[in-house]
Amino acid sequence: MAEERLQKIIAAAGVTSRRKAEELITQGAVQVNGALVTELGTKADLARDHIRVNGKLLQGAERHRYYMLNKPRGYVTTVSDPEKRPTVMEFFERLKNAGRVYPVGRLDYLSEGLLLMTNDGSLANLLTKASTQVEKTYLVKVSGKPTEEALEQLRTGVMIEKGRYGSREGRVRTAPVQIKLIREGENPWYEMVLIEGRNRELRKMFEEVGHHVEKIRRVGFGPLVLDLPPGELRELDEQEIAALDRVTRKRPVKKAPETEAHASSAVPSPAPPRFASERPIGKGPAKLPKAVSIKRTGGVARPGATSSAKKYGAAPRTFSRPGASRPKPSTPKSGPRGR
């Protein structure tokens, strides 16, 4: 067996994510053949070397598992929360043979929708790398009607605050996005496709053009399309896993400079990504606001899949949150609504 980086071996064994594994190494919690290792980049061979994490001997890589979860509002996308808020891990607590899985990317506390969960650290790392440019599709409800000029600003990129609010890390330019109106009204809904995942990016983008975001629902992640009601999850099939792997092998498009200082010398922007409805692979229709539909142009549907909200629960290998009745799919209401 060939040598691999320690953090990759630890993540593959299901101990934690690769990023957390790197923290364990630098904190002095990892030993190789009895010697303490604190340097990132150290390699080892699990078939030959004895690797211990917090004193526990690694037994080898566990079977990779991949799940799609429709995260409801009011849950934190993390393994544990110091503020004791509900986390997405609660949906897996009583699920037999789920393994130790971790979220790929994040959805903030007030956002909902498609969240990929896996113990495949290598794939998770590739899917979240900025250079991979994996497309994420969202339905966004906005307070007030943005002008066409404001929408064009968002399409080409706007300067937003970098990092968390108040972090004073400076400002960066967002990558080009696709925006399509899918429901008119005083508080319209838009379908948006992004190729990056900055902290609260959608909310910050609309704030820059003078509008508050009321709701965010992710309905697409790479080739995956959300086909579950809130609070339910299912395992991905082999075709979906292979499609995710192919996404990570695409040659990335060169991005424009991100900092405000380099904005004037920007190189040509990458081609805008396609909408979820135009992607060739998917499991079924995304859950859209009432009376709005997306026409698909092709793809392979899961056997038994249907566009009826009443039959969402018919997906194979679908699991509900333990101890709770299965929630009904939510449908955004039209008409004005306060913040």
Distances (CA, A) of 141 to 11, 13, 77, 192: 37, 40, 21, 11
Under a CB-based contact definition with an 8 Å cutoff, are residues 143 and 185 in contact? no
Per-residue pLDDT of the chain (339 residues; tens, 9 = 90+): 678 899 988 888 878 888 889 999 999 999 999 999 999 989 998 888 899 999 998 876 678 899 999 999 999 999 888 999 999 999 998 787 777 889 998 899 999 999 999 988 889 989 988 888 899 999 999 999 999 999 999 999 999 988 776 667 788 999 999 999 999 999 999 999 999 888 889 999 999 999 999 999 999 999 999 999 999 999 999 999 999 999 988 765 555 444 554 444 444 444 445 555 554 444 444 444 443 333 333 333 344 444 333 333 334 445 555 455 444 444 455 544 443
Class of 4-57 per CATH?
Answer: alpha beta
User: Catalytic one among 45, 49, 81, 108?
Assistant: 108
Residues 6+ positions from 286 with CB-CB distance below 8 Å: 137, 139, 219, 220, 225, 226, 227, 276, 277, 294
Radius of gyration of the chain (CA): 21
Q: Is 17 helix (H, G, I), strand (E, B) or coil?
A: coil
Q: In degrees to the nearest 10, what's the CA dihedral of 58, 61, 66, 72?
A: 10
Q: What is the pLDDT of residue 289?
A: 44
Q: Which two tokens stand for residue 15?
A: 């101990």
Class of domain 66-320: alpha beta
The label of the residue with tokens 């953090």 reads 7
Please report, as a single letter, which amino acid is at residue 145: K
Half-sphere exposure of 147 (CA within 13 A, CB side): 6
Dihedral of CA atoms 192, 90, 102, 95 in degrees, nearest 10, equals: -110
Extents of the domains making up the chain:
4-57, 66-320
Alpha carbon distances (Å) from 105 to 92, 111, 116, 126, 200? 17, 13, 8, 11, 12
Write out the H or E segment, with its range, that includes residue 114.
strand 112-118
The structure's pTM equals 0.66
Which H/E stretch holds residue 317? none
User: Is residue 108 flagged as an active site residue?
Assistant: yes
Residue 239, both tokens: 């075709």
